[in-house]
Amino acid sequence: MLKRKLFLQVLTIPLLLGSVTSASAGGNDDPLLTKVLIDQFEIRDADGSDPLVLDGQGWIGKDLNKLWIKTEIERVDGDTEEAELQALYSRAIAPYWDLQLGLRHDFQPSPSRSWGVIGIQGIAPYFFEVDTALFIGESGQTALRVEAEYELLFTQKLILTPEVELNFYGQDDKDLNIGSGLSDLEAGLRLRYEIRREFAPYIGVNWNKSFGNTADFASAEGEDTDDVQWVVGLRAWF
């Protein structure tokens, strides 16, 4: 426990510079906190093998400055097919928006890729949760990702979440079968039941479609360019 605390403190020293306050008359209004959100941890019902997908993020920090980690992992038949990790410095720039700067590394698929990240995450009017980022790769490759999510409450605990993710690329990356322009779209609809705020199993449907050169590359390899999958999973945070 103590070790963990110490570790967290060391991790956040840069965040704390200039904002160290001693316990004062009013108490500490801005304590160092951590949050881990497993947004999707699910099995997808695909043709043949059923991939296991993890999409999560976590942060450590204070009200306005945080170290933010994001990850997406997809495993099929025990092999990791996709693994992406982002480490970002997140700074509040508006009441509902954070600016996020940092690095992204794609461990899988091979060959791996590294990117610089400039992103904006927050809540748009009408309560759309938005996460969008521009990625700049080592070789001059660029990518843009736009994610948006909305929550529809059937009851206080039964919540339907439509979400959409779009990926664009500046150039073809033939090693990874990625084409320039709009490359792929993923749309999902998940219905979760919050047993507690922090813990919600869900079922849903996920639709993938690739476009342009990416679709052509996929077709050439005999892969589907669009795919509908049933999903069952768990959303949790602490």
Partner 1 sequence: MKKSIQEVNLLDSPSLSRRQFVTGVAAGGALLGLGLKPSLSLAEPQSRLGPKILDGNVFDLSVGYKSVNFTGKNRMATAVNGSVPAPVLRWKEGETVTLRVKNNLAEDSSIHWHGLILPSNMDGVPGLSFGGIKPGDTFEYQFAVNQSGTYWYHSHSGFQELTGMYGAIIIDPKEEDPVSYDREHVVMLSDWSDEDPQDIYSKLKKLSHYYNFRERTVGDLWQDIKDKGVAQTWNEREMWNEMRMSDTDISDVTGYTYTYLMNGVTPDEGWIGMFKKGEKVRLRFINGSSMTIFDVRIPGLKMTVVAADGQNVEPVTIDEFRIGVAETYDVVVEPSDDSAYTVFAQSIDRTGFTRGTLTPDIAMTAAIPAMDIAPTLGHRDMGMSMGSSSSDEHSGHQMNAKTEVTDKSSDHANHGTDAEPLGKAGFGSTREITSVGIVEGPHIDMRAMNPQSGLHDPGIGLRQHRENLGRKVLTYADIKNLYITEDLREPTREIELHLTGNMSRYMWSINGINYADSDPIQLKYGERVRITLVNDTMMTHPMHLHGMWSELETGDPQHIPRKHTVIVQPGSKISYLVTADAYGRWAYHCHLIFHMAGMFREVSVS
Helix (H) or strand (E) holding 201: strand 199-210
CB-based contacts of 199, cutoff 8 Å, min separation 6: 234, 235, 236
State yes or no: residue 96 binds partner 1 (CB under 8 A).
yes
Instruction: Give the 3-state secondary structure of residue 127.
Output: helix
Nearer to partner 1, 92 or 187 (CB): 92
Strand partners, 73: 54, 83
State yes or no: residue 4 binds partner 1 (CB under 8 A).
no
What's the min distance (Å) between Cβ of 19 and partner 1? 8
What's the min distance (Å) between Cβ of 71 and partner 1? 19
Instruction: Report how many residues bind partner 1 under the rule CB under 8 A.
Output: 32
* Residues 105-124 as b or e (16 or more Cβ within 10 Å = b): ebeebeeebebebebebbee
* CA dist list (Å): 38 to 55, 59, 186, 223: 6, 12, 18, 29
Query: The dihedral of CA 236, 231, 204, 108: what is its sign?
Result: positive
State yes or no: residue 230 binds partner 1 (CB under 8 A).
no
Stretch that binds partner 1, among 21-29, 112-120, 165-173, 206-214 (CB under 8 A): 21-29
State yes or no: residue 24 binds partner 1 (CB under 8 A).
yes
User: What residues from 97 to 136 belong to the interface with partner 1 (CB under 8 A)?
Assistant: 97, 123-127
State yes or no: residue 152 binds partner 1 (CB under 8 A).
yes
* Residues that bind partner 1 in the complex, under the rule CB under 8 A: 21, 23-31, 33, 35, 63-64, 92-97, 123-127, 152-156, 197, 237
